Amino acid sequence: MKEEKVSRLSLVTGKRNENDLNAIKSVFVNHNFVDTISALVRTSDLQKVSQYLPQNDETIGFTFESSLLHILSYILSLDKEIRQDLKLITSNIDVTHENSICVSHGKLTIKLRSDIYTKSGLKLKKSTFSQGNSRFNTQMYIGRFSLTDFETFIGKNDKNYIRLLWFAENVLLDTYHFQSTFENILTRNADDDIIHMKKQGITSVKPVKFVSNVQEMKKCISPDLTISNESESMAEILEWLSYASMGGPQLTLERNIDSYISKYSSMMDVENELDISLISIKKILVPSSIITEVFENMYKSLEWGYLLTNGVKNIISAYSDNSEHSIVSDGANDVITFCNGDDYAIWEIIDSDDSHKIGAIKGN
């Protein structure tokens, strides 16, 4: 019988304070690629959160097509601080067995099939998930390169950096589809960015417009949402938050789901009826600078609020700690925060074999 692996979950709770706020913000900063966000707040607080989000139809990123060579040409034409702000991923591929590229925190990560790797001349590491695999033609290799110090390594005649340029010019000539954004995207001129990308040989450049949707949920029933150290009650809170963040119809006044389909609401110990609003942002790369600003406002000024950030699942590097991202179960890399009264809770959910270390916040 094949062993079924499930995602790992960590929970930290504590009293709201400045030190823990900064620690939680660092979690969001180090979470490389978030493309889906759900926020729950009291409807009376909706404007307090919405003001920290971009306006609908503002440019939040780009999609384009490019080879590795033109990507490198483009990135190396940018100032070093801008390279640090760039986030970029290949899309529409399966990273478990296809060549892939991502950029975050000033680092380029590439993952190559064995047949391409043998032609590259590069020195890369065997992917964690190819360890123990004796079939060379199905193995994958992964490596990272500093983009902020790229010219320094070239100046020192670092063989791997020199080989990367040769590899991009002579071997990996395929064109890939990319998504990108910048941490400072809202202060950049999108038209200038598009012109600059095209000058570097990048094609099919299109701006990605920000879109958020708001759903009001009146008289939404809830269990006791008091944050505690009791694992059972916190599991119940997480279940309710997860269901509410999907606009769960059994929680609202119009509860008309057939009991044969679900008895969730009838099994709940109802403590409150809340007028809440759900803000949803789906399938666009969102800079961590926006996420941290929304969370900080929620943490400091709202009595009650929930924020879920879903990381891109099909990615080779989900965190800035250089760990390789696992897609054994489903590639989960999610961060969930909930504030209620003086307390907060943060859950991190990662794939079963991910080497990322979770639970770094001490709490109290």
Number of other residues whose CB lies within 10 A of the CB of residue 39: 26
Number of other residues whose CB lies within 10 A of the CB of residue 159: 12
What does the pLDDT look like over 30-49, one tens digit per residue?
Answer: 999 999 999 999 999 999 99
Strands 343-350 and 100-104: unpaired
Tell me what pLDDT residue 358 has.
Answer: 62
In single-letter form, the type of residue at position 45 comes to D
Provide the token pair at 315. 């990615």
Tell me what pLDDT residue 88 has.
Answer: 98
Provide the token pair at 281. 């942002």
Provide the token pair at 291. 């996420």
What does the pLDDT look like over 90-121, one tens digit per residue?
Answer: 998 999 899 999 999 999 999 999 999 999 99
Output the tens digit of pLDDT for each of the chain's 364 residues.
344 566 788 999 999 999 999 999 999 999 999 999 999 999 999 999 999 999 999 999 999 999 999 999 999 999 999 999 999 999 989 998 999 999 999 999 999 999 999 999 999 999 987 777 667 677 999 999 999 999 999 999 999 999 999 999 999 999 999 999 999 999 999 999 999 999 999 999 999 999 999 999 998 889 999 999 999 999 999 999 999 999 888 887 555 555 544 444 544 566 688 999 999 999 999 999 999 999 999 999 999 999 999 999 999 999 988 789 988 878 899 999 999 999 999 999 998 777 776 655 666 6
Closest Cα partner for 131 from 322, 328, 350?
Answer: 328
Tell me what pLDDT residue 134 has.
Answer: 66
Average pLDDT, the chain: 90
- The reported pTM is 0.90
Where do the structural domains in the chain lie, given as residue ranges? 8-53+212-350, 59-209
264-302 b/e (C-beta count within 10 Å ≥ 16 → b): bbeebeeeeebebbbbbbeebbbbbbbbbbbbbbbbeeb
